[in-house]
Amino acid sequence: MKFIFLLTAILLIWWILKTLNRSRLADRKPRIRNMLPCAHCGLHIPEDEAIMRHGKSYCCRKHAEKDNP
């Protein structure tokens, strides 16, 4: 009798944890980031990480300095 109770308790806990985990995963929304090409080398980088100079996007400060006089 104790074995059946223990097995039922374990299965119930497993089911609850599985349900909670599934609902947490469903609540997450994928983060979509706008990608911009570097005006110097063409590498695509996220917009929030890009260096903007004169209306152009660059992947690093070095490329931004090379393209602008």
Q: Report the alpha-carbon distance of residue 15 to residue 58 in Å, rounded.
A: 50
State if pTM tops 0.85: no
pLDDT digits (tens, 9 = 90+) for 30-62: 778 899 999 999 999 999 999 999 999 999 999
- Candidates 38, 43, 41; CA nearest to 53 is 38
Q: What does the block give as tokens for 65?
A: 């300095």
Whether residue 51 is found in the same domain as residue 69: yes
Answer for the pair 59, 41: CB distance below 8 angstroms, yes or no. yes
Domain count within the chain: 2
Same domain for 22 and 51? no
Residue 69: which domain range? 33-69
